[in-house]
Amino acid sequence: MKPRSVPELGRWASESAIEGGVMKVIVNTLASCVFLLTIWPTDLYAESDWKLFDDPNVGYSFSYPSTWEIKTQRTYAFRIMVADPNGTGSCMLKTNTLPPQIAGLTAEEVIRQTSKQDLINGARQHGTEMNISVFKSTKVANRPAIYYEDASSFQSLNVTIPLRTVNVVTKAGALLYTLSCVTTPEDMERNKSRYTFVLQSLVIRKPSLPW
């Protein structure tokens, strides 16, 4: 079996956290009172440094580094992954279809009712231990969203691979959109502004139900 790269390994930590968070939203309506904060970097990038991934069917788009490649589309785990060809970092977008009782809530209500502990507990239910160091309410594509940073690890045989992930979660219609960027701790420290720029670029044009 071909060894998995860091982006592929990181998929599992991100997937577990998001799926667990959705389940906790369904079963737990604890409100977390978090003020809207600006978390996006002020760094400016040249247009030539970026490519645009645009999905006309689902109606979302986001920018990613021009040297990166599209690795996987529409698997069971995520809709799209873009990754550094050197195997260092990757960003992936996933959508979850919400049950009717959650889909009927506004994006603001869903975001307000999701806490940091919801995400931690949900990841734990899927066998992933993660530490969320930053958890903030913000806006993406002019919609209420959660931004959070987490540290986790992946065990492969006798090797433990540390991972760092930045994530943004928002709701549009009956879908929960999660865009996550995962890499090594060293790369995250060097290029965090690049990864958060990817998150900031997310645009949702055509949700499955009216906003």
Band (pLDDT 50/70/90 cuts) for residue 206 is low
The confidence score (pLDDT) of residue 207 equals 55
pLDDT tens-digit series, residues 36-72: 333 444 445 566 789 999 987 778 899 999 999 998 6
Strands of the 60-65 sheet, one edge to the other: 50-55, 60-65, 203-204
The confidence score (pLDDT) of residue 3 equals 38
* Axis crossing angle, helix 116-125 with helix 6-27, rounded to the nearest 10: 110
Helices within the chain (DSSP H only): 6-27, 100-103, 107-112, 116-125, 185-200
pLDDT(17) > 90: no
- Which residues does 10 contact at the CB level (< 8 Å), separation at least 6? 90, 154, 163, 165, 182, 183
The confidence score (pLDDT) of residue 72 equals 66
